[in-house]
Amino acid sequence: SYELTQSPSVSVFPGQTARITCSGDALPRQYANWYQQKAGQAPLMLIHKDTERASGIPERFSGSISGTTATLTISGVQAEDEADYYCQSTDKNNRYVVFGGGARVNVL
Amino acid sequence: EVQLVESGGGLVQPGGSLRLSCGASGFMFSDHYMDWVRQAPGKGLEWVGRSRNKANSFTTEYAASVQGRFIISRDESKNSVYLQMNSLKIEDTAVYYCARAPLSNYGMDVWGQGTTVTVSS
């Protein structure tokens, strides 16, 4: 079955940049979407269609794609950004949905 | 206001059944794909299955882990999507979320608050 592989968790100081990667063979053909999940809350869509910020999402969140790797970048991390982050896409035939394993961003 | 509200979670014994409901409001329900996503305690998000929109004949897909045990259905008159869970296993214990997607892989832009299913004897 198709899998998305996310980079490990990252720890950053406020104001620094955090990057999380997501790798999958179908990513050149299928969009990557990104979600933030804080403790005890439902996920929140941050980025869709590889690079588009969802409505109301701050500009410090951005998405990019290069070949089989999608990247979520948080520029100028704030304390409130401490959360788990998940990438999501579909298989090459756009039939089955898949989530990456998640990566935690710790704000020191 | 665009909103999804899940209900129907609870405690069930292994081998039992449960039906979850997700009521939608504030948008054209039939235009959207509806997904079920679950999260086991302390674990990541796992896609369970989806119902495509009216334009795609409301067809369904399921993750391999639930194929043959879970069934997704919709009632357009009630703006609701359902997850019928049969032959439940301990490993089905999770918070279950419903989420809407405008199109197949355009992202899940609205999520419910989740409902908890516990499978235990």
Q: Are A48 and B63 inside 8 Å of each other by CB? A: no
- Rounded mean pLDDT, A63-81: 98
Q: What is the pLDDT of residue B103?
A: 85
* Sign of the Cα pseudo-torsion (A51, A55, B55, B24, in order): positive
* A50-65 mean pLDDT: 97
Q: Is the dihedral of CA A83, A87, A1, B108 positive or negative?
A: positive
Q: Which residue has the tokens 């050149």?
A: A28
Within 10 A of A88 (CB to CB), how many other CB atoms are there?
Answer: 27
Residues pairing with B98 in the sheet: B36
Per-residue pLDDT, B98: 98
Closest residue by Cα to residue B70 from B46, B45, B87: B87
Contact B106 A31 (CB under 8 A): yes
What local confidence, expressed as pLDDT, does residue A58 receive? 98
Contacting A residues, span 5-64, partner chain B, CB-CB under 8 Å: 30-31, 33, 35, 37, 42-45, 47-49, 54-55
Q: Which is it for strands B115-119 and B10-12: parallel, antiparallel or unpaired?
A: parallel
CA A90 to chain B, closest CA, distance in angstroms equals: 7
- pLDDT tens digits for range A11-29: 999 999 999 999 999 999 9
List per-block mean pLDDT (blocks of 10 residues) for chain B, which spans 121 residues.
Answer: 97 98 97 98 98 96 98 97 98 98 90 98 95
Report the share of chain A in percent with pLDDT over 70.
Answer: 100
Q: Is the dihedral of CA A19, A25, A31, A37 positive or negative?
A: negative
Judged by CB atoms closer than 8 Å, whether chains meet at B105 and A33 is answered as yes
Q: What is the pLDDT of residues A74-108, one digit of tens each?
A: 999 999 999 999 999 999 999 999 999 999 999 99
Which pLDDT belongs to residue A8?
Answer: 87
Q: Considering only CB atoms, which chain A residues are within 8 Å of B109?
A: 45, 48, 54-55
End-to-end CA distance of chain A: 37
The helices-and-strands tally (H runs, E runs) of chain A is 0, 11
pLDDT, average across residues A63-68: 97
